[in-house]
Structure 1
Amino acid sequence: MPRKCCPFNPPADRAFPVLYENRMIPVAVIADDLTGAADTGIQFCRAMGPACLLGIRSLKQVRFSEIPGVLSVYTNSRHLPASGADKSVRSAMRYLNAFEPQSLYKKIDSCLRGNIGTEMDAVMDAWGGRTSFVAPAFPAQGRTTLHGIHYLHGTPLSETEMAMDPVTPVHESSLPALLTRQSRLKVGHIDVDILDDGNPRVKDEVRRRIEDGCRHIVFDACTEHHLKSIAQLAKEYFPKTLLAGSAGLAAGMVAAFNRIDARPRVSELFVTGNMLWACGSASEHLAGQVRLLVEKGGLAQIKLPPAILADAGHTSAGRKLAALAEHPLTRNDLVLQIGPGSAADALFSPEEVLSGFSTVVENIVARCQPAALFLSGGDTAAIVLEAIGTRFVILKNEVLPGLTGGIISGGLMDGRVVVTKAGAFGQPDDLLTLYNRLKRKEA
């Protein structure tokens, strides 16, 4: 009897893509970074089944023995110039279209970083969409849009730490203005006052904007109810519309389309053994979460200056730095963090520093074989998973809002747990809560 293929493990004699019994992908998500693809893809799991998280390189080669319910793809295009982002998204869409997704969702950053307009245009062209509904608000994480202005915890976005992002600073708080500047398509806006009036006014106002030539319709949203209403509007009156937003609108889409509680269940993933916490994001918010984790959880910590990391990507220094982690990681969980730099560190690009960081993590994983990984920051997660040979991640559960847990397929950590998190997300004690849940230390 031939051996039965494991889910998501390609049979050797099949060519890409394998589509069993004409079963196409129910939902595809395309995001500009890994953590966004993860925290959005997981929203669809309760309704659609397992979600597969992967990058473009794996998408080009992947073959499935069982079609996942959700295919969540990241393009690593947030920090690229607009032309590069356009090329990456169009390339991803060519391979996604081979799976003929029944529904497509464009994940955009809830803090408006990246090439939002360029990527929206590329997806619309490749998918054949006529109109998009755009709502990046995520009220549960303090991201709201009111009268066209996007807020982070009540402060206009351009007045927050997002304006000082080292790679993709955001200097515009007006969502319609930002999208208009980045897109070649006409942008319309639906104010919260219209949205709160409900139908038929909302429907009529959207139709007026479409008749006026608008292709991207931006919506205010201050509550989860607003997001569900936007998704419901698309379902009932504009079924061929592309929905674009954060994990918040994705949850609203699941609730509207399936009439179920869209909140993913608390994770049942547990970790026995010591875990490596790799924190490569420059977010001050993450730094505060790490401090609390180390202080209250009693974890070991190593901070590596940017200059040393930049060198580690090119020399044997990566192996030497990994050796420093061996003793603490055999005794306890270990936090590996990019430390504060000096003025001289400006000589090194963020790409050089992150490359060195991934080299050190790869060497630690090979040397110490940690039981699980935590990766914070989309760029950090993507480069580390690639460095350790990951093919894809099967998303299992949302441990906490914005923190997604899954099982790694392929490479040095095959079969082990990984949790990803966007750098600027979450409550101050989220990492400590995650640690306690994974280690079953909660009361």
Structure 2
Amino acid sequence: MLQAAVLADDFSGATEMAGVASRFGLRVVLQTNVPHGQPEKCDVLVLDTDSRMMTDEAAADRVREFANGLKQLNPPAIYKKTDSVLRGQIAAEIGTLLVVFELPGCLFIPANPSRQRVIRDGHYFVEGKPLAEIDAFANDPTHPANTNAVAELLRDESGRIQIPNIESEDEIRRQAAAKPADHLAAGAADFFAAWLAEVTGQNTPVQAGTISFSPQKTLWVCGSHAAWPDRKREFAEHGIPVQLIDQSPRFGETEPVLALGTGDETHPDPAALLESIAESVAKLIEENAADFLLLEGGGTARAVIDHFGWTDFSVLAEIAPGTVAVRSGHSPVLLVKPGSYPWPERVWQFFE
């Protein structure tokens, strides 16, 4: 029986939410299409609207289409997943959901104190540093953080979105318990976990999942320019061979793993880069029967799954918070995480 539904604006955010829900022992279905009927054996339905890179108007239209389909399922509770550092068209998407579901307001908590991402006096800090002073976020090619003020990042003109200061997980739990029943819940993973505990009445301790890891061929894909310097260093430290997208990448004859990267230079056309990544991944899978894909960043993951036409996913395991293994039918196992998160140590240990 459906207990809750989630709308995320990118695929890695959707898998992150699916992982949190599976942590509670709930049955999760993740879809990338507008819902047309309730999935079987589903407690939590997670939808990826793939709207983060759109304009305000286009994102609102996309979310409205998904929300109208979701409304037919009459979910008891709805959560809007956003980027934790407020990238995307958040105010437009939340505003659309308030209209479709006829709600008076929204409690929005993008802070993720478990990752040292907090809101203090209305300003956003990551590991103690103001958001706009962190190069990876200040120089984001599509959503640069040019201010630390959360209200300015949100750009809400309706006055219906409440954003409390949050510096601890205890504060998040208190906010989740006090949220008005007629208000939309929105934000990042920490708030979702606290909200889901309230909605379902479950408070299962966090336990990382496990998967059987014995693939014949593993393809590791980093489509994030900001993450590439760190990832390139980590690949070298772990002895993982690296090839670039524009080098006609191929697996070595005796190598079971290959890392695919974008290179050090910023690509002038991000959309074209994602298309190139998807085509390279498809070729490598078809030629080498790669059966395990590690995908970094929602845009990269979505480009790959769209290329193959994968739309419905089951959750295999939450390897660590934010890093989740999913599969669509007989697809390879996909291990997905947001681009701004590091790969957990458990993943690197697979290759030692």
When normalised by structure 1's length, the TM-score is 0.74
SS at structure 2 position matched to 1:231: helix
Of 270, 289, 305, which residue of structure 1 is paired with 2:212? 270
1:42/1:264 contact within 8 Å kept: no
Of 125, 129, 133, which residue of structure 2 is paired with 1:155? 129
1:271/1:371 contact within 8 Å kept: no
Of 406, 413, 431, which residue of structure 1 is paired with 2:326? 406
In 2, Cα distance between the equivalents of 1:435 and 1:155? 27
1:125 corresponds to 2:99: yes
Cα distance change on mapping 1:46 and 1:421 into 2, 3 Å = closer
The one-letter code matched in structure 2 to 1:255 is A
Deviation at 1:432, TM superposition (A): 4.8
Cα distance change on mapping 1:402 and 1:394 into 2, 3 Å = same
Structural RMSD (CA): 2.1
Deviation at 1:375, TM superposition (A): 0.5
1:396/1:407 contact within 8 Å kept: yes
Of 89, 92, 103, which residue of structure 2 is paired with 1:115? 89
Q: Which runs of 5+ in 1 are unaligned?
A: 1-22, 187-214, 309-320
Matched with 1:374 is: 294
Cα distance change on mapping 1:157 and 1:76 into 2, 3 Å = same
SS at structure 2 position matched to 1:327: coil
Deviation at 1:391, TM superposition (A): 2.4
Of 228, 231, 241, which residue of structure 2 is paired with 1:300? 241
The one-letter code matched in structure 2 to 1:78 is R
In 1, Cα distance between the equivalents of 2:303 and 2:38? 22
Deviation at 1:341, TM superposition (A): 2.5
Percentage identity across paired residues of the two chains: 24
In 2, Cα distance between the equivalents of 1:107 and 1:68? 19
Cα distance change on mapping 1:408 and 1:290 into 2, 3 Å = farther
Deviation at 1:48, TM superposition (A): 6.0
Compare CA radii of gyration and give the structure with the larger one: 1
Matched with 1:54 is: 31
In 1, Cα distance between the equivalents of 2:95 and 2:244? 41
Matched with 2:347 is: 434
Matched with 1:85 is: 59
In 1, Cα distance between the equivalents of 2:214 and 2:22? 25
Cα distance change on mapping 1:331 and 1:355 into 2, 3 Å = same
1:247 corresponds to 2:189: yes
Superposed counterparts of 1:358-373, under 5 Å: 358-373=278-293
SS at structure 1 position matched to 2:250: helix
In 2, Cα distance between the equivalents of 1:364 and 1:370? 7
Matched with 2:341 is: 425
Of 22, 46, 51, which residue of structure 2 is paired with 1:72? 46
Residue by residue, what CA displacement relative to the aligned partner does 1:187-235 show, whole Å, maximum 9, x if unpaired? xxxxxxxxxxxxxxxxxxxxxxxxxxxx21111111111111110111x
Of 319, 327, 334, which residue of structure 1 is paired with 2:252? 327
In 1, Cα distance between the equivalents of 2:96 and 2:3? 21
The one-letter code matched in structure 2 to 1:366 is E
Matched with 1:185 is: 158
Residue by residue, what CA displacement relative to the aligned partner does 1:54-90 show, whole Å, maximum 9, x if unpaired? 21xx3356773x2311111111111111111111111
1:220 corresponds to 2:165: yes
In 1, Cα distance between the equivalents of 2:315 and 2:297? 17
In 2, Cα distance between the equivalents of 1:63 and 1:255? 22
In 2, Cα distance between the equivalents of 1:228 and 1:400? 21
When normalised by structure 2's length, the TM-score is 0.92
1:282/1:423 contact within 8 Å kept: no
1:267/1:405 contact within 8 Å kept: no
Of 268, 280, 284, which residue of structure 1 is paired with 2:223? 280
In 1, Cα distance between the equivalents of 2:316 and 2:37? 19
Deviation at 1:261, TM superposition (A): 4.0
2:29/2:44 contact within 8 Å kept: yes
2:22/2:318 contact within 8 Å kept: no
Of stretches 376-385 and 294-303 in structure 1, the one that deviates more from structure 2 is 294-303
Deviation at 1:41, TM superposition (A): 2.6
Matched with 1:230 is: 175
Matched with 2:80 is: 106
In 1, Cα distance between the equivalents of 2:191 and 2:24? 15
Deviation at 1:264, TM superposition (A): 4.3
SS at structure 1 position matched to 2:191: helix
Deviation at 1:263, TM superposition (A): 5.0
SS at structure 2 position matched to 1:59: coil
2:31/2:313 contact within 8 Å kept: yes
SS at structure 1 position matched to 2:50: coil
Cα distance change on mapping 1:43 and 1:267 into 2, 3 Å = same
Residue by residue, what CA displacement relative to the aligned partner does 1:376-433 show, whole Å, maximum 9, x if unpaired? 0101001101112212221232211211112222xxxx2532110111113xxx3553
In 1, Cα distance between the equivalents of 2:94 and 2:103? 10
- Tell me: higher relative CO, structure 1 or 2? Use CA pairs within 8 A at least 6 residues apart: 2
SS at structure 1 position matched to 2:34: helix
Q: Which has the higher helix share?
A: 1
Q: Which runs of 5+ in 2 are unaligned?
A: none
In 2, Cα distance between the equivalents of 1:365 and 1:167? 29
Matched with 2:149 is: 174
In 2, Cα distance between the equivalents of 1:361 and 1:378? 15
Residue by residue, what CA displacement relative to the aligned partner does 1:135-173 show, whole Å, maximum 9, x if unpaired? 101011121011110111111212222121011112222
